[in-house]
């Protein structure tokens, strides 16, 4: 049983929802790793970026799609993210994992979008679009999960999403969100517990540990 | 980290194990424990189940046109990176902190330069002109001194005028045929910088005695922290004037000297003339008094007239004497100043009182400042509050709204 557990572990890491990259090829330092490709692109190899793009296109789109209430908007933000990476490509240095770098850029794009949208909503009266992202597959359960996630505390939700969907390690999450590692762990625990309770008893009430307006 | 000996792993550690966040050794220990511990096993299963539920929320496929647009920018960027095309200017570049740093630094430098110019330039000009003025004075002798020598040349003209007056029929008795020598009232102004005022004072006194002069007025200034100085008005007999001036020049460095001569010959001659007339008049009155003895009132009248004329004569005589004296004795207006020496002694008797004065001033300033603030608050406080209510409150509310919307996104 112990072995099976370990095998399951590895499996769940490499095939998370929405991730398409092969974890074997992506070990940094090996030829064809993200960092190598990015360095090659920074020196003029256009096809290196194609490979990176194909690896991360869907994950980044999913990243935005889960956080922004509009597929069209998610598409724009994904494009902005990759454009930003392209523009900064001349100065790229392989200091950290490319994946952390990419998600950091995606986060900046997301924050900028949220700021703009909130500004427009506050001062210009435009209401932010409230299309709930449609769920594929089992429509009902997908929608239920989506609604349960929405009820979580914003920071807890972010940590959960980064862990479950973007498959980031605790260390990467703590860097991206500028939180201590222990905080990440405890909040992730809290988020999962809350989500489990929400999914177990689907009531339109508040889950334990949820704080709506805190940021 | 809990070892396998303890009964429970904390649930968070079980979670870390499920997420693969433990080291290899820790993982093994945890796996071994979970295998044996039903509670931890349940916890681990629950975590996995939650993850699986989450996986049901799937995202759509990213649209194709996204791929095309990104591909295009990637190609352009690759060309730039390989050096074939220069990077275009984007407004995003303006957002870089470095640009703002240089821009604000440059603006600050320009502002400082513009503000400093009015202070730098005029002072520079002042110093230049002061330099020019200061150096020149010491060696100058004013034109008047030179002109004094030139007055001798006017003598023939004087003589001609006097001669013309002699020819002119005048109601006054004829002027005396002998032409008097020109009478010049001489005055000299000197400013000398000396090393020691006291020594110079002594030298001055001895000089006066030597040249039979006297001091009409001497004032000595000895301020506490400044250079001492003497202002004096001296009278020197004209024959001794040149020698006296030479002695004075020897006292120190002459920073300023000017001489002038006023020709008072005519003045003197006029006075002489009037005196003569007055004396003659007086004589005639006396003769009348002696010869004609008439009524008492007539006698009184004549005596009154005599007294009046006598008064005039006496005042004219005094004026004449004064004039003659001024011609006999030249006037020297002398200013002696000491080269300023900074005081080395720190034992200033006044420093104690300076401290006390400073304390008092400081206390006054403090009270003044506090009072000023209070006054300001009283005067403007209500208006400020009103403005804050009008401006700040709505802004604050909008800000709150912004934050809440942002949190909800």
Q: What is the C-alpha separation between B377 and B392, in angstroms, rounded?
A: 19
Question: Which stretch, A164-178, B137-151, B284-298, has highest mean pLDDT?
Answer: A164-178
Among the residue ranges A156-170, B66-80, B141-155, B203-217, the one predicted with the least confidence is B141-155
pLDDT band at B152 (very low <50, low <70, confident <90, very high): very low
Q: What is the mean pLDDT of chain A?
A: 76
Residues of A whose CB is below 8 A from B42: none
What's the pLDDT tens digit per position in A97-127? 888 889 999 999 999 998 888 888 877 776 6
- Indicate left, alpha or beta for B337 from its phi (over 0: left) and psi (-120 to 50: alpha): beta
The pLDDT assigned to B179 comes to 63
Residue ranges of alpha helices (H) inside A68-121 are 71-87, 98-119
The mean pLDDT of B70-99, rounded to a whole number, is: 69
pLDDT band at A69 (very low <50, low <70, confident <90, very high): confident
CB B222 within 8 A of CB B228: yes
Query: Which residue from B minimizes the CA distance to A146?
Result: B57
- Is A65's CB within 8 Å of B11's CB? no
Taking the CA of residue A49 and the nearest CA in chain B, the distance in Å comes to 7
What's the pLDDT tens digit per position in B273-288? 999 999 999 999 888 8
Q: What is the C-alpha separation between A10 and A14, in angstroms, rounded?
A: 6
Tokens of B153: 């040349």
The mean pLDDT of B245-268, rounded to a whole number, is: 91
Q: What is the mean pLDDT of chain B?
A: 79
pLDDT band at B311 (very low <50, low <70, confident <90, very high): very high
pLDDT for B60 beyond 70: no
pLDDT for B71 beyond 60: yes
- Is B66's CB within 8 Å of A75's CB? yes
Q: Which residue has the higher pLDDT, B3 or B112?
A: B112
pLDDT band at B86 (very low <50, low <70, confident <90, very high): low
pLDDT band at B66 (very low <50, low <70, confident <90, very high): low
Q: Which residue has the higher pLDDT, B159 or B186?
A: B186
Q: Are strands B229-237 and B329-338 parallel, antiparallel or unpaired?
A: antiparallel
Q: What is the C-alpha separation between B249 and B40, in angstroms, rounded?
A: 114
Q: What is the C-alpha separation between B48 and A12, in angstroms, rounded?
A: 9
ipTM: 0.71
Collapsing DSSP states into helix, strand and coil, what is residue A86?
A: helix
The pLDDT assigned to A182 comes to 92
Q: What is the C-alpha separation between A192 and A157, in angstroms, rounded?
A: 9
A41: Cβ contacts below 8 Å, ≥ 6 apart: A48, A49, A52, A89, A92, B74, B77, B78, B81
The pLDDT assigned to B145 comes to 40
Residues of A whose CB is below 8 A from B403: 118, 213, 215
The mean pLDDT of B360-387, rounded to a whole number, is: 94
- Is A149's CB within 8 Å of B70's CB? no
pLDDT band at A29 (very low <50, low <70, confident <90, very high): low
pLDDT for B214 beyond 90: yes
What's the pLDDT tens digit per position in B381-392? 999 999 988 988
The mean pLDDT of B255-263, rounded to a whole number, is: 92
Of B56, B58, B406, nearest to A118 by CB-CB distance is B406
Taking the CA of residue A50 and the nearest CA in chain B, the distance in Å comes to 7
pLDDT for A25 beyond 60: no
In our burial notation (b when 16+ CB lie closer than 10 A, e otherwise), range B108-129 reads eeeeeeeeeeeeeeeeeeeeee
The pLDDT assigned to A4 comes to 45
Of B18, B56, B90, nearest to A142 by CB-CB distance is B56
Query: Which residue from B minimizes the CA distance to A49?
Result: B74
Interface residue A17 vs chain B (CB under 8 A)? yes
Scanning A142-161 for CB atoms below 8 A from B yields: 142, 145-146, 149, 154, 160
Among the residue ranges B258-272, B290-304, B309-323, the one predicted with the least confidence is B290-304
pLDDT for A13 beyond 50: no
Of A17, A44, A83, nearest to B73 by CB-CB distance is A83
Which strands, in side-by-side order, build the sheet including B253-263? B214-221, B229-237, B329-338, B184-194, B253-263
What's the pLDDT tens digit per position in B118-128? 777 665 555 55
Residue ranges of alpha helices (H) inside chain A are 2-14, 34-42, 46-67, 71-87, 98-119, 139-150, 154-164, 170-177, 181-200
Residues of B whose CB is below 8 A from A58: 59, 61-62
Residues of A whose CB is below 8 A from B15: 185, 188-189, 192
The pLDDT assigned to A31 comes to 67
pLDDT for A17 beyond 50: no
Of A83, A118, A213, nearest to B402 by CB-CB distance is A118
pLDDT band at A19 (very low <50, low <70, confident <90, very high): very low
The pLDDT assigned to B62 comes to 59
Tokens of B137: 């004075």
Taking the CA of residue A30 and the nearest CA in chain B, the distance in Å comes to 22
pLDDT band at B376 (very low <50, low <70, confident <90, very high): very high
Residues of A whose CB is below 8 A from B21: 169-170, 185
The mean pLDDT of B32-58, rounded to a whole number, is: 87
The pLDDT assigned to A11 comes to 39
């Amino acid at each position: 049983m112990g072995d099976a557990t370990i095998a399951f572990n590895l499996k769940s890491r490499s095939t998370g929802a929405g991730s398409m990259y092969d974890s074997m090829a992506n070990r940094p330092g090996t030829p064809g790793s993200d960092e190598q490709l990015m360095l090659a692109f920074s020196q003029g190899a256009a096809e290196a970026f194609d490979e990176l793009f194909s690896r991360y296109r869907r994950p980044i789109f999913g990243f935005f799609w889960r956080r922004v209430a509009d597929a069209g908007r998610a598409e724009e933000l994904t494009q902005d993210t990759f454009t930003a990476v392209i523009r900064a490509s001349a100065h790229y240095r392989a200091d950290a994992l490319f994946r952390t770098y990419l998600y950091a850029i995606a986060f900046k794009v997301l924050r900028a979008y949220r700021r703009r949208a909130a500004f427009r909503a506050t001062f210009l009266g435009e209401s932010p679009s409230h299309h709930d992202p449609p769920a594929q597959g089992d429509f009902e359960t997908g929608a239920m999960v989506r609604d349960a996630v929405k009820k979580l505390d914003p920071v807890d939700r972010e940590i959960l999403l980064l862990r479950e969907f973007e498959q980031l390690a605790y260390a990467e999450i703590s860097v991206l969100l500028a939180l201590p590692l222990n905080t990440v762990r405890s909040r992730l625990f809290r988020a999962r517990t809350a989500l489990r309770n929400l999914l177990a008893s689907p009531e339109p009430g508040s889950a334990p540990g949820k704080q709506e307006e805190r940021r | 980290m809990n070892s396998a000996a303890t009964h429970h792993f904390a649930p968070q550690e079980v979670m870390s194990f499920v997420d693969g966040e433990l080291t290899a050794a820790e993982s093994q220990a945890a796996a071994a424990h979970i295998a044996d511990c039903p509670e931890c096993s349940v916890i681990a299963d629950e975590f996995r189940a939650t993850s699986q539920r989450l996986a049901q929320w799937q995202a759509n496929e990213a649209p194709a046109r996204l791929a095309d647009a990104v591909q295009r920018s990637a190609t352009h960027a690759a060309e730039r990176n390989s050096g074939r095309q220069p990077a275009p200017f984007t407004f995003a570049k303006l957002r870089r902190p470095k640009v703002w740093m240089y821009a604000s630094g440059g603006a600050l430098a320009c502002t400082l330069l513009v503000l400093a110019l009015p202070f730098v330039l005029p002072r520079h000009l002042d110093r230049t002109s002061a330099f020019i003025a200061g150096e020149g004075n010491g060696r100058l002798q004013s034109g008047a001194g030179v002109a004094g020598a030139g007055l001798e040349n006017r003598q023939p003209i004087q003589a001609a005028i006097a001669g013309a007056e002699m020819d002119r029929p005048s109601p006054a008795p004829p002027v005396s045929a002998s032409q008097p020598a020109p009478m010049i009232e001489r005055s000299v102004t000197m400013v000398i910088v000396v090393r020691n005022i006291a020594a110079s004072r002594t030298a001055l006194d001895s000089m006066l005695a030597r040249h039979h002069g006297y001091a009409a007025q001497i004032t000595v200034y000895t301020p506490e922290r400044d250079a001492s100085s003497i202002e004096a008005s001296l009278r020197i007999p004209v024959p001794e004037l040149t020698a006296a001036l030479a002695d004075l020049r020897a006292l120190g460095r002459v920073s300023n000297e000017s001489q002038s001569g006023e020709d008072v010959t005519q003045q003197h001659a006029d006075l002489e003339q009037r005196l003569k007339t007055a004396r003659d008049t007086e004589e005639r009155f006396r003769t009348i008094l002696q010869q004609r003895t008439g009524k008492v009132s007539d006698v009184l009248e004549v005596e009154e007239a005599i007294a009046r004329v006598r008064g005039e004569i006496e005042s004219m005589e005094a004026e004449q004497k004064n004039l003659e004296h001024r011609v006999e004795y030249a006037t020297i207006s002398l200013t002696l100043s000491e080269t300023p020496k900074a005081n080395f002694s720190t034992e200033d008797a006044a420093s104690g009182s300076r401290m006390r004065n400073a304390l008092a001033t400081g206390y006054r300033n403090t009270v003044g400042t506090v009072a000023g603030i209070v006054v300001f608050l009283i005067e403007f406080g209500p208006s400020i509050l009103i403005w804050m209510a009008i401006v700040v409150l709505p802004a604050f509310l909008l800000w709150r709204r912004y934050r809440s919307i942002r949190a909800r996104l």
